Amino acid sequence: MFHSLPLYIGLRYLRAKRRNHFISFISGISMVGLTLGVMVLIIVLSVMNGFDREMRTRILGMVPHATISLPGEFKNSETIRQIALQHPMVLGASGYIESQGMVIANDRTRGALLSGVEPSTVGTVSILPDHMIAGSIAALDDQSFGVIIGASLARVLGVSLGDKLTLIVPEMSVTIASIQPRFKRFTLVGIFKVGAELDSSLVITHIDDLAKLMLYGDAIDGLQLRTTDLFQARQIAFDIGRELPDVYFVSDWTRTQGNLFQAIQLEKRLVGLLLFMIVAVAVFNIVSSLVMLVTDKQGEIAVLRTLGATSRQILGVFMVQGTAIGLIGIAMGVLLGVIGALTIADIIAWVETAFDMQFLNSDVYFINYIPSELDWRDVLIISSATFIISVLSTIYPAWKASKISPAEVLRYES
């Protein structure tokens, strides 16, 4: 009459009211536990993906994907730049000079990374032009010895547009009287804010101005590259380097920011693994509820066996019931998790407004909101893994049910 007796009876047991309400309670707890576990996993991993995205677009957006350099001796930069742009995976190339130094203003001194850039091409390798909060990159062309600094550094030094700053580089000028550090007065023509550590440590000026301060002449340090694939940047730089007539140094973003990126990836895996324990606890509840259900249904199992049901069919009945509990919990968890991942930023913003609190301070963190990016691959992995362990958890209780002897059970039935 029924195409699948185990499926019919298993789903009927799921819907039926049980004499032992505690078994129903445990089954409900199992379902709720799976729902919460799947939902929390999806939301947390989406938030981790959001932080990963922000790091790539902000921090890695400010630093080059790769560099080709020969510090202080890199000449014919435009010719080499055109060679680099011919590579199909290079989106942009721009000359640069970098040096550690110090910046002084209002009797305040701070260490800084001095970076000389080409205003006309820096936008092809950096998001800097999009994050100017005062002034512009073009002002470096308009003002001789102009400088752009981060918002945090400007606040520490107490400077604003038009103020004077002194840059000192670790080079010495020899005069008749003494040996003095090399320094130059610059005018502040722009302030940027990307919300990262670079806001307090990066000082940007025109490449020609920094070359004069460093006494480079017509040489620069090298070329910064932006590529189509962040994770192939090193190989792309090597490919370009092999095409150049001279020997140059090549490097990529993993040398400076790789540890941060790996830390976020490791944290995502560890947090996911720890939160998956919630799902494991819910699965143990499925085992408990099925074991108690098998004990409660021994009489019905014995009757089914006497009517001709096979051990495999009895096994299937309880596997169907446990799997159905898992599927319902997973479906509800995925639904709530996806909704939560898509709205978590708005929910947190509402909580901050309603209770006058702030979860992320932009003065401490590089963003002041909770980012979220839903990755359907994470949803698929979470739901698939949860479904597999839910099915596996039904095997032992179902196997115990299939081994029940009808004669032993019915002997004590009244």
User: What pLDDT, in 10s, does the model give residues 309-324?
Assistant: 777 777 777 777 778 8
User: What pLDDT, in 10s, does the model give residues 127-181?
Assistant: 888 888 888 888 888 778 899 998 889 998 999 898 999 998 877 655 554 566 6
Instruction: Please give the pLDDT value at position 411.
Output: 61
Average pLDDT over residues 357-361: 70
Instruction: Please give the pLDDT value at position 248.
Output: 80
> d(Cα 216, Cα 231) in Å, to the nearest integer?
33
Per cent of the chain over pLDDT 90 is 9
Domain edges within the chain: 5-57+261-410, 64-252
Selection from 284, 234, 285, 290 nearest residue 258 by Cα = 234
Instruction: Please give the pLDDT value at position 32.
Output: 83
Instruction: Please give the pLDDT value at position 1.
Output: 37
Least confident of 185-189, 227-231, 257-261, 388-392: 257-261
Instruction: Please give the pLDDT value at position 335.
Output: 93
Instruction: Please give the pLDDT value at position 176.
Output: 54
Instruction: Please give the pLDDT value at position 172.
Output: 60
Q: Is the pLDDT of residue 10 over 90?
A: no
Q: Is the pLDDT of residue 60 over 80?
A: no
More confident residue, 296 or 352: 352
Computed over every residue of the chain, the mean pLDDT equals 80
Instruction: Please give the pLDDT value at position 361.
Output: 64
Instruction: Please give the pLDDT value at position 7.
Output: 62
Instruction: Please give the pLDDT value at position 2.
Output: 42
Task: Please indicate, yes or no, whether the overall pTM of this predicted structure exceeds 0.85.
Answer: no
Provide the pLDDT confidence category of residue 36 given band limits of 50, 70 and 90: confident
